[in-house]
Every structure is written in structure tokens, then in C-alpha cells.
Homo-oligomer: A and B are copies of this chain.
Amino acid sequence: MSTDLMPNRYRPGESNLPGREAELIARRDKVLGASYRLQYRRPVHFVRGKGMWLYDPDGRAYLDFYNNVPCLGHCHPEVNAAMAEQAGRISANTRYLEPTLVGYAERLAGTFPNELDRVVFTCTGSESNDLALRIARCASGNEGVIVSTYAYHGTSAAIAAVSPNLGDAVKLSPFVRMVSLPGPAGIPEAQAADYFETQIRSAMMDLNRRGMGVAALLIDSIFSSDGVWVDPPGFIASGAAAVQEAGGLVIADEVQPGFGRTGAHMWGFERHGIVPDLVTLGKPMGNGFPIAAVVGRRAWMDQFGATSRYSNTFAGNTVGIATADAVLKILQRDQIPQKALATSQRLREELEKLAKQRNDVRAVRNAGLFFGVEIGSEGTPAAGRRLMALDLVNTMRDDGVLISTTGANEDTLKVRPPLVCQAEHVDLFLATMERALIKIAG
């Protein structure tokens, strides 16, 4: 793992900043906790957002190819109107009867396979993963958790302890085991499923030998923080089945792949042809409003709920529900995932052309509008590839396009625009990327 866990960030003294930004950073450092990080060598400062665009105080526009939270674009007027209208009527909690809550839960459950028919709301993806793990441990009677090598699943104490991506300072739980993915291990696609299943079985054997058993396989089907490893579709299925046979639960972390991000499907796990036991939702659910959920099989939800009260004051409040309901309706009505799929195909084709032209665009991977683009030529040392990816991200930022990096070596561009991205935005992104590549590598 890279020693710098977030290479794409501002480091004091690294850049000459304009007075306005330098002053704001000084004030920020005086009052915010030191756990905060700013993105980019020269941090960005926006005062207005609209659709695919963010605007700085001087009115300069930046194309947003990074933010997956505002899936319908920044400041969506219809979503905001739904939020404001509900806030003016009532913000009720889930201990009161509320048809809006029930109606949205029904519509949300309707987008899942039939087996997944129960919903519990939370406020963040971290809370969803934390709750899912509590449910899995209650349902399985086991403690062990299996995640991918560089997984990141959230910020709570229990979830940070199963998120190796947070680095050495955040101690891993004695109950967690990491499994390698076939892609980064260089396994041919035909053997990917076997490789993954073997890793899982080996992790389960170790957990069993230590008396912990397996409570859950917790995976993000896009494997975002591992570097976006999505192919071949279905490679996780036999490993997931092995966990279920052993009495563990499969938790699909859909905080990033969910709500149409993968284009062809509403949920990322569908690409792999599996039905998980629990699914965790977050980021795009309210287009920015803090709302998240766990959707799961009735048996597990009932077993947990019969004994455990789970009372989350803000979660499921009617303002969040009305906002999320508007998002879901627009996603479905306007066929956003289908359009995102078409847009992603254009982006895929053009990036592949670029990869053929240039040795330093090493690989292109995507599921729908979530792309990982490996940077740096074969044979270049890891540190050099990482630096080139970082240079590229920052050159593009200076040229008005926002992306970032991911992966074990952080040499993979993380590209995930709002789903309302159009062909014209794809073309602008590509032109900016090509210009930046030429500028830094010729």
C-alpha cells in the first residue's frame, strides 16, 4: 500500500495560493479537526453548482467528473423543491405513522429482487454498513468479516476496523480477513471466479480455526478503493455462495455502485448475478441530502429487530424521505441509468482509443459511469506511475475538470461523473485529459 493514503491532497507550502484561499485555509486549520483533508495541490473553492458544473468565486466553471453524490447533477431544482416543500409541511420521525415513509420504502424495495423486501433507514453509508454488520453478526452468530485487500467501507469504529484502506494508523479488527482480487493479481478472466472463491474459502477456514466463523462477506461490487475491478461479471458469485453455505451473510455495499451507477442495472450486485443477504445504500440516494439505508432479507431483519431496538433519530425523517423519493422517481422516469450506460459506452470507446495511442494510458476499466484508468507505462516504477497520475489529476484540475485517483498504488484515475453526464461533457473531459497528458508527458 502507498505510504501516503490520500496522495491527491493539499499539503501546506506545496503550492503558492492566492491570498483569498490561503487566508481561508489558515482559518480552517485553526478551527477544524486535523482529520480533514483538502483535495488537489491547489484546493478548489466553489460558490455555485448547476448540473455537471461547479463555479469558483471568479465565475470560472469546472466540469465535475468526480462527484457521485449529486447523481442527478448539482442543485437539481425538482429534488430541491421536493425537499423544501416537505420541510415546510412536516419533518416527522419514524415513531409516528407516515405514509410518505412507507410509500418510498415500498418503491425502493420494488427495485430489488423479491427476496430483498425489508428496509431500515440510516443517515450515512457508514451507518448502513455498521448496521448491516450488526445484523449479520446477530443472524449468523459468528464474528468474522471478509473484505477485499484495499476495501474502504466507512468511518464508524466497527467499520473503520474492517477498512484496510485507512492504513496502518487505524487498527484492523482481529475478526477481519482480506482477500485478493483476481484482477490486480493478474489472474486470467477465465480463472477469476475460482481464484476469488479459493481466497474466500481460505479466509473462512482461518476464521473457523480461530473459533470466529464467518459473519459476513462485505464487498463493493465495483471494488472502488482497490482500483475499480469489475470484470468479468459474475466473478464474485461462487465465493459469495460459499459464504452463504457456511452460514455467513453477503453484504453488498452499494454506496458507490448503487442507484444506476453501473448503467445496465439499478444495483451493482446484479452485474454479478447474485442476490445478497443485505444491501447497503448511501451517497446518491438523496442527491446530497444525508439519507442512507439497509435493504435485506426478511429473516435476518426480523431476527435482529425482534430483540434489538434500532432507533436513529434523523433517519427516515420525512424531509429526507421526500428528497430521496424525488431522486428515485426522476431516475426511473427519465431513464437515467439507461442514458448513463449509453454515455459510458462513448467514454469507454474513446478511452480505449487513447490507451491504444499512448503507452502511459495502461488500462481502462468501468462498470457504467464508474471508470478506473491506469496511468503510467508498463515498466515505470510504482512511484513514477503514482506521480504521473497525480500530475494528471492536478493538471486537469487547473484546466477545469475534476477527477481523482484510487487503487493500491493510487495510479488509477477515478472517474465517476454525475449520471446526467452527456456526450458533450464526455468530449470535453477527453479533450482536457489528452491536453494534460501531452503537457506532462509529451
Given A156-B157, A290-B320, do A87 and B109 touch, yes or no (CB 8 Å)? no
Counting CB contacts under 8 A, is A124 at the interface? yes
Q: Are A37's CB and B311's CB within 8 A?
A: yes
Roughly how many angstroms separate A158 CA and B130 CA in the complex, as a whole number? 9
Q: Are A166's CB and B309's CB within 8 A?
A: yes
Q: Are B97's CB and A87's CB within 8 A?
A: no
Given A32-B105, A118-B31, do A157 and B158 touch, yes or no (CB 8 Å)? yes
User: Copy number of this protein in the oligomer?
Assistant: 2
Interface-located stretch among A43-51, A204-212, A228-236: A43-51
Closest residue of chain B to A314, judged by CB? B290
Counting CB contacts under 8 A, is A306 at the interface? yes
Counting CB contacts under 8 A, is A249 at the interface? no
- Contact residues in B for A125 (Cβ distance below 8 Å): 313
- Contact residues in B for A320 (Cβ distance below 8 Å): 290
Query: Chain A, 304-344, contact with B by CB distance < 8 Å: what is the 0/1 string?
Result: 11111111111101011000000000000000000000000
Given A126-B312, A294-B33, do A157 and B133 touch, yes or no (CB 8 Å)? yes
Roughly how many angstroms separate A69 CA and B27 CA in the complex, as a whole number? 30
Q: Are B311's CB and A43's CB within 8 A?
A: no
Counting CB contacts under 8 A, is A349 at the interface? no
Partner of A131 from B43, B155, B309 at Cβ < 8 Å: B155
**Chain B nearest Cβ from A438, distance in angstroms:** 28
Q: Are B96's CB and A46's CB within 8 A?
A: yes
- Contact residues in B for A77 (Cβ distance below 8 Å): 88
**Chain B nearest Cβ from A214, distance in angstroms:** 17
- Contact residues in B for A92 (Cβ distance below 8 Å): 46, 49, 54
Counting CB contacts under 8 A, is A350 at the interface? no
Query: Chain A, 160-201, contact with B by CB distance < 8 Å: what is the 0/1 string?
Result: 100000110110000000000000000000000000000000
**Chain B nearest Cβ from A27, distance in angstroms:** 5
- Contact residues in B for A127 (Cβ distance below 8 Å): 123-124, 126-127, 155-156
Q: Are B44's CB and A96's CB within 8 A?
A: yes
- Contact residues in B for A313 (Cβ distance below 8 Å): 69, 124-125, 282-283
Partner of A75 from B28, B88, B312 at Cβ < 8 Å: B88
Q: Are A87's CB and B95's CB within 8 A?
A: no
- Contact residues in B for A39 (Cβ distance below 8 Å): 95-96
Q: Are B102's CB and A130's CB within 8 A?
A: no
Within 8 A of B (CB), among A87-140: 87-99, 101-102, 105-106, 109, 117-120, 123-127, 130-131, 133-134
**Chain B nearest Cβ from A242, distance in angstroms:** 25
Q: Rank and list the top 5 A-B pairs by shortest CB-CB distance, nearest first.
A: A34-B305, A169-B307, A35-B305, A157-B158, A45-B97
What 17 additional pairs, Cβ within 8 angstroms, besides A34-B118, A157-B157? A24-B97, A28-B97, A31-B109, A31-B119, A33-B120, A33-B294, A34-B302, A37-B95, A49-B90, A69-B93, A124-B127, A125-B313, A126-B127, A155-B311, A169-B307, A170-B308, A288-B314
Offer 26 A-B interface pairs, CB within 8 angstroms, sorted by A.
A5-B309, A24-B99, A25-B97, A28-B97, A31-B106, A31-B109, A32-B101, A32-B120, A33-B119, A33-B296, A33-B304, A33-B310, A34-B118, A34-B305, A35-B304, A39-B96, A44-B96, A45-B96, A49-B89, A49-B90, A49-B91, A75-B87, A75-B91, A91-B288, A157-B157, A166-B309
Which residues in A have some Cβ–Cβ distance to B below 8 Å?
5-6, 21, 24-25, 27-28, 30-39, 43-49, 54, 67, 69-70, 74-75, 77, 80, 83-84, 87-99, 101-102, 105-106, 109, 117-120, 123-127, 130-131, 133-134, 155-158, 160, 166-167, 169-170, 282-283, 288-291, 294, 296, 301-302, 304-315, 317, 319-320
